[in-house]
Structure 1
């Protein structure tokens, strides 16, 4: 595959082939950052059969990635509170550009493209002001930063585009941090997470949780084809958490996904990733710290399956149901509550597995 990518990249440089697509890079279905056993870091392309199609070096630990909607091009984000993101040509396996957060900002590890791939949106912290921002980068100009706008809250983490629109949904986790304090959380007593919806840089809707849940940081998102948002949370309070996942659609009310106290206790207050099933009838959440995957029934808003998976991290929809990754280098599938795991490489997957082409 590497030789084929290099060959096509050479033809492209001479103008003898049309603009490449993800098919030219082996048709990866997913992207995920990982750490190799020797301490190096990579971004991997994963095929429909769970084979690793490519491993592209990263300069430091990655978190999530954003896949360009048409070109075989990905942006790998540093783990929060990183200040760099690497634009990677997945055909040649080489960096195309390095994005650096402006002075007074850091990235939160996530980004989203516009539907035409012309713009990239990045979640950022204005850490002196203690406010969330979204950076706007001109892709066609070589990932040049051209604008920014308010995220609608504090500590914006994940960001997604609603299908068929240019509207962005942002998970404002509510937690204020500052590089001088590392990853220390500075405002737990007053944190106020929310979901914000933004169109053309303008805030059009904000949805907050019940005040009793204000210490539940909204962190990670998935969006169904019909525009329903699933969100996973991380509990910052004392004692047991009451809820760790919910759903929302613009114009409607928040719907919380319920589980018994002992089932939520298994998650240890932490949702690492969240995903709808392909038909959006189920929502899966992972907890690497709890070593468990929990799957909710969307109609009933209740927990349906609990599956023990040590260091379960990334989760995404696949043909069988869900694909998951672990910190032990395993890739697996969950189909109707049944788990199949296979160790595929001597690496440790990071927390997210990102679909390509959505």
Structure 2
């Protein structure tokens, strides 16, 4: 598979969509510097044909910040998580229940793809520690959450570890001393939603959720610690590490009624001193946080179903809000917070996916 160069990509009908500001980055709140200089981002999107691509886009600051496609590659199905492997090599992981991972060199456009083993599906996120690549997965026979442990260079599967729950989603590599643990570890968000191989993403009816955060030893997979929230219907999904060592967690409520979901918090904080706690200041946001990043002041979450993004300090106080259509993808570049939204006027032409990353350019 080869990259589509900028000239060829923009010569298609999509050039009209891009020129009208289809993909936009919106300023966020008073506590963060916003879009003060151009930024390159690795992102993914859905084409009008229904196919998917990923590539590098460039944010051009202005009155209506616009994104210009620099390079793009075709993807087999819808993607989800994006991660830097090393240097110019990045990893793209299929959306759950996924069956592929792809290495993309953003400088040359070269790709290599691995199809997932048939007994497990991918859950959309990955992490790398030393020579090991970890992917969050679900065992199709048991429904249990697992980590696929691979050689980071060859993608060869080395081991499969249990995560102590169902539906593992995003994970972080945590340094020694974090959260009171004396060894580096993997912090994994078990989303807790039980599914069946024949039902795709649909939750199994009548099953109790078991969402949790777990600390796993990065060399053995041994569980070092586990944290849970009081409300079992809050799914812990995406993670961000603040420079203070505090972790922010984006939540997605699974309550049976719209009113209950709207009353549920969408942000939790994990710290050494206070453990894991959901923030009561993060309610009335449709019960859904799509992404999270940490900046100098605290955490920014995108609330896709509430068409907004919010900024919180480390004490859980709301310090900023912006309305943005289908807000989701977030990235940090220096002091800037970059928020992706879907322009309502041209949403039928190109659809930005859930996550993006600031890259060097």
What is the TM-score with the length of structure 2 in the denominator?
0.77
TM-superposed deviation, 1:101: 2.3
In structure 1, the partner of 2:322 is: 307
In structure 1, the partner of 2:83 is: 66
1:51 and 1:167 map into 2 onto residues whose CA distance is 38
In structure 2, the partner of 1:326 is: 341
TM-superposed deviation, 1:302: 2.2
- Equivalence map 1:153-232=2 (5 Å): 153-163=165-175, 166-186=184-204, 189-199=207-217, 200=219, 201-210=221-230, 213-232=231-250
| 3-state SS, counterpart of residue 351 of structure 1 | coil
In structure 1, the partner of 2:33 is: none
1:315 and 1:188 map into 2 onto residues whose CA distance is 34
1:303-347 Cα offsets, whole Å, 9 max, x none, are 2222110011111223343101123499xxxxxxxxxxxx9xx63
TM-superposed deviation, 1:80: 1.1
| Partners of 2:229 and 2:278 within 8 A in 1 | no
| 3-state SS, counterpart of residue 190 of structure 1 | coil
1:144-198 Cα offsets, whole Å, 9 max, x none, are 1111211121110111212577421111010111220122101565112101111
| Partners of 1:257 and 1:303 within 8 A in 2 | no
**Alignment partner of 1:245 is 2:267:** yes
In structure 2, the partner of 1:150 is: 162
In structure 2, the partner of 1:284 is: 300
1:248-297 Cα offsets, whole Å, 9 max, x none, are 1357511332327xxx33x21111101111x1x22111122221112212
In structure 1, list runs of 5 or more residues that go unmatched.
5-26, 331-342
| 3-state SS, counterpart of residue 108 of structure 1 | strand
RMSD: 2.9
Aligned CA distance change for structure 1 residues 147 and 224 (closer, same or farther; 3 Å): same
In structure 2, the partner of 1:138 is: 151
Matched positions, count: 309
2:5 and 2:313 map into 1 onto residues whose CA distance is 45
1:33 and 1:2 map into 2 onto residues whose CA distance is 14
1:163 and 1:189 map into 2 onto residues whose CA distance is 35
| Partners of 2:44 and 2:79 within 8 A in 1 | yes
The match for 1:34 among 45, 50, 73 is 45
In structure 2, the partner of 1:54 is: 71
1:356 and 1:167 map into 2 onto residues whose CA distance is 25
1:52 and 1:275 map into 2 onto residues whose CA distance is 23
The match for 1:129 among 117, 131, 142 is 142
In structure 2, the partner of 1:293 is: 309
- Equivalence map 1:103-122=2 (5 Å): 103-114=118-129, 116=130, 118-122=131-135
In structure 2, list runs of 5 or more residues that go unmatched.
7-37, 61-66, 177-182
Which structure would you say has the larger RCO, counting Cα contacts within 8 Å and 6 or more residues apart? 2
| 3-state SS, counterpart of residue 180 of structure 1 | helix
1:66 and 1:190 map into 2 onto residues whose CA distance is 31
Aligned CA distance change for structure 1 residues 230 and 38 (closer, same or farther; 3 Å): same
